[in-house]
Amino acid sequence: MGRPGSMSRVVDLEKGRLAIAAKKGYRNWRSQFGENFALHTKLSDISQRTLSYLAQGKDKGTFYLYDLIMHLESLGSGFEFNEISAKSKMAVIDRYLFLLDRIRFECMRRLGWIDHYPGQELSIVELVTRFEEVAPGFQAKIPALSSTHPDYKQFCSLNAFDRETFIRGLIPMVLKKIRD
C-alpha cells in the first residue's frame, strides 16, 4: 500500500498537468478571440463570435481546435500536426470532429432549434480529455429538435436514423444563419 496522501498527490499532479496543457492550448485562442478560456470553460461560456468562427470548420478555426486538442493530448502544438504519426493524426481528427459537432449543436441551442445536446454540461477540456469515455455514448444520442421549431412535427414522425439525418441537415442552415 502507498503512503497516505500519495494518491491525492497523483491526482493533483494530473490536474496541474492538465491546467498547464489547457493554458498552452488556449494561448492562441486568447490572442485570436480576446476572451478568457480556462480549464472549466464550456461551449456555453464562449461568445457567439468565437463559436461562429469555430463552427465554420475551416482553415484557422480548424487550427485552433487542433492546437487545443494536441496540447491536451501531449502531442505538441497545432503547427506540428503534419509531423505526428498517422495514428495520432486520426486521434486528433476524431476529437476534432466530435468537438465540431458539439460546437454546431451549441449554435443550434442558442438559436432555439434544440433545447439540449449530449455533452453540453462538460467543459471543452473534458470533451477532449474524456473523449474515449464519453464520445461513444454522446455520438449515439442525437439532439432532439425543440418543440418550438417549425419542423418539430415532421421531426417527430421520423425514425431515429432519419432524425439524425434531419438534425445534421440543419448544419448548413445554422452555418449560414450564424455567418449573417
What pLDDT, on the 0 to 100 scale, is given for residue 7? 61
What pLDDT, on the 0 to 100 scale, is given for residue 154? 96
SS3 state of residue 145: strand
What pLDDT, on the 0 to 100 scale, is given for residue 32? 94
Residue-range domain boundaries for the chain: 6-179
This prediction's pTM: 0.90
- 131-140 and 86-111 helices cross at what angle (nearest 10)? 50
What are 82's three cell numbers?
503534419
What pLDDT, on the 0 to 100 scale, is given for residue 56? 93
Mean pLDDT of 148-166: 95
- Residue whose C-alpha cell is 493530448: 73
The answer to whether the CB of 48 falls within 8 A of the CB of 110 is yes
Instruction: Report the alpha-carbon distance of residue 4 to residue 8 in Å, rounded.
Output: 9
Using a pLDDT cut of 90, give the percent of the chain over it.
83
Instruction: Give the residue with greater pLDDT, 137 vs 16.
Output: 137
Neighbours of 74 (CB within 10 A): 8
What pLDDT, on the 0 to 100 scale, is given for residue 180? 75
Rg (CA), the chain: 18
pLDDT bracket for residue 6 (50, 70, 90): low
Residue 40 pLDDT greater than 80, yes or no = yes
At 54-101, the pLDDT tens digits run: 999 888 899 999 999 999 999 999 999 999 999 999 999 999 999 999
Residue 4 pLDDT greater than 80, yes or no = no
Instruction: Report the alpha-carbon distance of residue 56 to residue 75 in Å, rounded.
Output: 24
Mean per-residue pLDDT over the chain, rounded: 92
C-alpha distance from residue 20 to each of 14, 15, 55, 71, 116 (Å): 10, 9, 25, 9, 30
Tell me phi and psi for residue 122, to 5 degrees.
-90, 150
